[in-house]
C-alpha cells in the first residue's frame, strides 16, 4: 500500500539557524519559509535527489510540535511521510487493521497541497507517520 518516502520532517527551534546548517554546512537547496497556520508550523523544504527533508518550526501558541521540542531540546526527527495512491482507501484499510488515525480521521491539506493523514505513533514503532496522497 505505501509507496515512496515523500519526506522526513525534523522539528527545529530556530528555522534560520537550521536553514543555514542545511544550506551552508550540508550544501543543500533550501526553500523559502512557508507558514502553515492550519498545521501550527512554519516549514522549509529541502530537495534531495531521492526524497525531501522538511524542517518544522513551531507557529502560534498551540503548535503540535511545541511539546516535542520541550522533550527534544536540540530538535529531532518528528515524522516520516509515505505516499499512498488513494488516501481514503488507505485510511479505511488501516482502520480495518486496528490502526488509529489522529484527529478527526478526515484528511487535511498538507504542505504540498495534497490530502494528508497522521497515524498514531504507538501503533507504528513509536514513529509518527504521515500519509500523503501521491
Ligand atoms: Co510532513
Give the pLDDT score at 9.
Answer: 98
What spacing in Å lies between the alpha carbon of 115 and ligand 1's midpoint? Answer: 11
Diameter of the chain measured on Cα atoms: 46
List 112's β-bridge partners, or say none: none
Distance CA 39, CA 116 (A): 11
Give the pLDDT score at 134.
Answer: 93
Give the pLDDT score at 61.
Answer: 83
pLDDT tens-digit series, residues 1-32: 999 999 999 999 999 999 999 999 999 999 99
| C-alpha 10, offset from chain centre | 8
CB distance 9 to 79 below 8 Å: yes
In the chain, what are the domains? 2-133 (3.10.180.10)
**Residue positions annotated with a catalytic role:** 130
Taking the chain, what is the end-to-end CA distance rounded to the nearest angstrom? 12
Neighbours of ion ligand 1 (CB under 5 A): 9, 81, 130
Query: Which cell is 101 given?
Result: 488515525
Task: State phi, psi for 47 to the nearest 5 degrees.
Answer: -90, 120
Tell me the C-alpha to C-alpha distance, in Å, between residue 66 and each of 5, 20, 71, 131: 25, 22, 9, 21
What spacing in Å lies between the alpha carbon of 89 and ligand 1's midpoint? Answer: 20
Does the pTM of the predicted model rise above 0.85? yes
What spacing in Å lies between the alpha carbon of 96 and ligand 1's midpoint? Answer: 24
Distance CA 23, CA 3 (A): 28
Per-residue buried b or exposed e for 72-81, using 16+ beta carbons within 10 Å of the residue's own CB? beebeebbbb
Per-residue pLDDT of the chain (134 residues; tens, 9 = 90+): 999 999 999 999 999 999 999 999 999 999 999 999 888 999 999 999 999 999 999 998 889 999 999 999 999 999 999 999 999 999 999 999 999 999 999 999 988 899 999 999 999 999 999 999 99
Amino acid at each position: 500500500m505505501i509507496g515512496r518516502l515523500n519526506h522526513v520532517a525534523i522539528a527545529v527551534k530556530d528555522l534560520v539557524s537550521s536553514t543555514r546548517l542545511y544550506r551552508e554546512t550540508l550544501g543543500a537547496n533550501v526553500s523559502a519559509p512557508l507558514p502553515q497556520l492550519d498545521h501550527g508550523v512554519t516549514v522549509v523544504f529541502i530537495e534531495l535527489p531521492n526524497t525531501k527533508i522538511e524542517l518544522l518550526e513551531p507557529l502560534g501558541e498551540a503548535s503540535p510540535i511545541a511539546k516535542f521540542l520541550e522533550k527534544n531540546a536540540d530538535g529531532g526527527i518528528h515524522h516520516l511521510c509515505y505516499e499512498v495512491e488513494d488516501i481514503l482507501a488507505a485510511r479505511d484499510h488501516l482502520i480495518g487493521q486496528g490502526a488509529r488515525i489522529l484527529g478527526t480521521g478526515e484528511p487535511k491539506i498538507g504542505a504540498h497541497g495534497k490530502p494528508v493523514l497522521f497515524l498514531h505513533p504507538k501503533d507504528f514503532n513509536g514513529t509518527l507517520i504521515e500519509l500523503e496522497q501521491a
